[in-house]
Amino acid sequence: MSYIDPNQYAHMGDDAQMIQSAVDAAQLSGQCVCIPRLNARTGRDVWVLPSAVKLHTGSTVILDSCRLRLADGAFDSIFKNDLAGTTEAELLRRRQYDIRIIGRGCALLDGGRHNGLTERNGKSSSAPRYEFDALVNTLIHLHNAERIVIENLRVENPRYWGMTFHYCSYGRISNIQFMSSGACPNADGIDLRLGCCDFIIENITGYTQDDSVALTCLNDSVARVQGLDSDIHGVVIRNVATCTRCANVRLLNHYGHKLYNVVVQNVQSSVETDPASPDADAFPLRLPDSEPLPPAVEPVYWTDFSNGARRAHVAVKIGENAYFASDRDGAGARLGDTFNIRVQNVQACSQVGVNIARTLCDSSFEGIQMFGKSAIGVYFGEGEFDTLRFSDVGFAHNALYSASDRKPREGAYGYQEPAAVVFNGSRARGLSFRGISSHPSGGHVFAGHGDVRMRAADTVLRDERFRLISGDGIILET
């Protein structure tokens, strides 16, 4: 197969123009674009992009051990399809197909130095560069596209979400390593947004300051595609081994958008040493190969890795009693909006293994094992839940509470005491638990308060001082 080399266009004004010229030529010839390590225009082994490369239907770009870096002060992605963020993307007849970004060898996308644009300040600015808010900072953005492959890439220093997709389908994202130094807020790894379906997301590793893989079906500012529904469904997420301050995998939907038929398999908290080991503090937290960069804005208002915390808040998070207009009737997700979620094989060093809030029904969870400094296996927040099945939820023998875990907590994630399963104002019917064990450092199996009806079998209480159930409104049915 013959390729078009952007170095053929070394006479262009900047590196983005060189690559764009190759992409445009490839659309006419049917060839692929292959970006080599060496940039002939500058003689350097880096390609610095002041603007995004726009991909067309049929575009295949191969990154051959090359480094693509956003220019300082740029307000754009590295790659996006040429209709992304435009009103033309509203039209189904303008849908784009067969877009591939393939890494070979050591292929790197680098966000470089942050431009200062965040969700917080972008929404309050009237400057033209903030037209699409912080979304302009996502390194890859595809909108109204189908048959997508993105694979074998390392993503460093994202300025916002690493990859974002709106109204896209039949996609595979695989073998991606993220490295976020924590220099900016909201640094998710992969985000499927409104209208995405039929995706496989697999083999995701590294560090993400925010959620590593997120399916978030909310009202966005991007154009909706006429003739397509806005739900997220038909997604397989597997083999996620990341370090994060938020969630390894997050599912969220509101405003009547549905989220369903999702499989989450093999999620692990990435650690370099056993966090419960007596000498764990002797091993400093590393950000492997991460370039130290100044923060996006001052003061730093987000959580990063600098305080030495070695655990996420939650491994798998489903639902939220926030991120919608609370004064608007029907804005929040309702029972039946989130369903058919199957979670299997989670090994988590996090405060909570699985966090469920707002609503969920007709779903199952199997094999949730906590280790290190972990407090709660399954947490239910306020909301309505129906027909959920849990099996094999427990803790490693040397799991430990952090000092903060034993303190009563208030608010959205509140609890009076940690337990294997905690209810916080939940209304639940049709819950079943099998093979649930209590924490080796002490605690009840089920605790909290709400209006809960459940069945339980094969429970293990590791300390006779504690009880199977502690709290109000938790009824064990026979």
Q: How far apart are CA 189 and CA 417, in angstroms?
A: 32
Cα separation, 351 vs 348, in Å, equals: 9
Per-residue pLDDT in tens (0 to 9) along the chain, 478 residues? 689 999 999 999 999 999 999 999 999 999 999 999 999 999 999 999 999 999 999 999 999 999 999 999 999 999 999 999 888 999 999 999 999 999 999 999 999 999 999 988 876 654 444 445 789 999 999 999 999 999 999 999 999 999 999 999 999 999 999 998 788 999 999 999 999 999 999 999 999 999 999 999 998 888 899 999 999 999 999 999 999 999 999 999 999 999 999 999 999 999 888 888 888 878 877 777 767 789 999 999 988 877 656 788 999 999 999 999 888 888 999 999 999 999 999 999 999 999 999 999 999 999 999 999 999 999 999 999 999 999 999 999 989 998 888 877 777 677 778 899 999 999 999 999 999 999 999 899 999 999 999 999 999 999 888 999 998 999 999 7
Q: Which of 194, 169, 342, 166 is nearest to 255 (CA)?
A: 194
Q: Give residue 451's identity as a one-letter amino acid code.
A: D
Q: So what's the pLDDT on residue 151?
A: 98
HSE, CB side, 13 Å, CA atoms: give it for residue 131. 7
Q: Cα(129)–Cα(322) distance, rounded to whole angstroms?
A: 28
Residue pair 262/231 in contact (Cβ under 8 Å)? The answer is no
CA distance 204 to 198: 18
Amino acid at 438: S
Stated pTM of the model:
0.95
Name 48's Cβ contacts closer than 8 Å, sequence gap at least 6: 14, 15, 42, 69, 70, 71
Encode 383-418: b = buried (16+ Cβ within 10 Å), e = exposed: bbbbebbbbbbbbbeebbbbeebeeeeeeebebbbb
Q: Distance (Å, rounded) from C-alpha 352 to C-alpha 372? A: 12
Tokens of 310: 């070695």
Closest among 333, 387, 335 to 362, alpha carbons compared: 387
Distance CA 245, CA 207 (A): 9
What is the C-alpha separation between 42 and 262, in angstroms, rounded? 46
Neighbours of 264 (CB within 10 A): 27
Burial label for 123, CB within 10 Å (0-12, 13-18, 19+), is exposed
| pLDDT value for 129 | 43
Q: Beta strand pairing status for 232-244 and 259-269?
A: parallel
Q: Which domains are present in the chain?
A: 143-476 (2.160.20)
* Nearest by Cα to 318 from 282, 272, 270, 353: 353
